Amino acid sequence: MSFGIKRGYDMKEADIRNERNTILEKYGMLGVLLIIILIFGSLSESFLTVQNFSNIFISESVVGCLALGGLFILVVDEFDLSLGYILCFCMVLGAFLSGKGFPGGVVVSVMIAAGAACGALNGLIVTKLRINSFIATMSVGLSLAGITQALSGGGILNTNIPQSMIHFARGKVFYVGYSVIFLLMLCAIIHFVLNHTEFGRHLYAVGTSGRTAIFAGIKAERVRLTAFTVAGFFCGISSIVMLGQLGAASSAYGTSLLLPAYSVVFLSKASFHPGRLNVPGLVVGVALCALGQNGIEIAGAPVWGSYVFQGVLLILSIWISVLLTQKAGRKVK
């Protein structure tokens, strides 16, 4: 009798521990975010100001949009090294057209279409030519870098940038940037698509096992092609926000955002749905990356401190992602 009671007690204790671990896995990154805010808030009075937070998230909206594109790529278990180059190309193309006197609506449409076209090109090379996505996107990225250099003439293009674009990228309502509101709307839409539509289920199925997805009747190649195209679309969106924020473009802008964007995507696996790429986790990752980097700068760290933070964050995000993915796989088994 006592053995049965003790066994029941042990099982209850195990259930409590498992529940605590689950809560920690789901919401632990929110705790890390709070700790970062408290640490840097104690180091600098200017950190915990509404104006600073407003500026942080407005500037980080570019990375957020780019990360949404990277999310689609990683969900289907591919990798795209050209995201930063596509962003840069679209931005320079938009500035070039603006300098030639094209209307703002035309410029924006061309930038988005160009991004989607570049993404589709990546997808076609990967799915039709059967070239590894790492090699394919690196090749496309390098080609775009050359085209961008030729288009910009090696200089900075800042003539006649549409005021509507600048207002959208820099404007605020009650300290919340229009670009931030737009990013959150995009996140809500993508979250719905990934979790409540057939296309979203197909994306996860292809990423989990392409062969199994094909046996289930899913057109895996079409899904991958669409994922690359959507990623390019988000590069186009990111380029609009960045061009509006900077008011200028050159072949040197945007390419460095690839790794921060992927850091954010990998961190999404550590929040809300451990081991699975998800949009709410991506939002937390954007906040963590933005606040941490800004805190280091405000604290008076040298310039290289920001790069060290990004590098460490990328390593940690991938490590956490791998651990949680393996744990999720064991639970399924």
Farthest-apart Cα atoms in the chain, separation: 87
Provide the strand spans (E) within 190-283: none
Q: Average pLDDT across each block of 10 residues of the chain; the chain has 333 residues. List them in order.
A: 51 52 70 87 88 93 96 96 97 96 96 98 96 96 96 93 95 95 97 95 91 86 97 98 96 89 88 84 91 86 79 77 64 50
pLDDT at 151: 95
The pLDDT value recorded for residue 14 is 47
All structural domains of the chain, each given as residue ranges with its CATH number in brackets, are: 27-332 (1.10.3470)
What pLDDT was estimated at residue 327? 64
Q: Determine the straight-line distance between the first and last CA of the chain, rounded to whole angstroms.
A: 33
278 closest CA partner among 199, 209, 188: 188
pLDDT at residue 90, rounded to an integer: 98
Any idea which residue has 């046996």 for tokens?
215
CA dihedral 83→89→91→96, nearest 10 degrees, is -170
Model pLDDT, residue 304: 79
> pTM for this one?
0.89
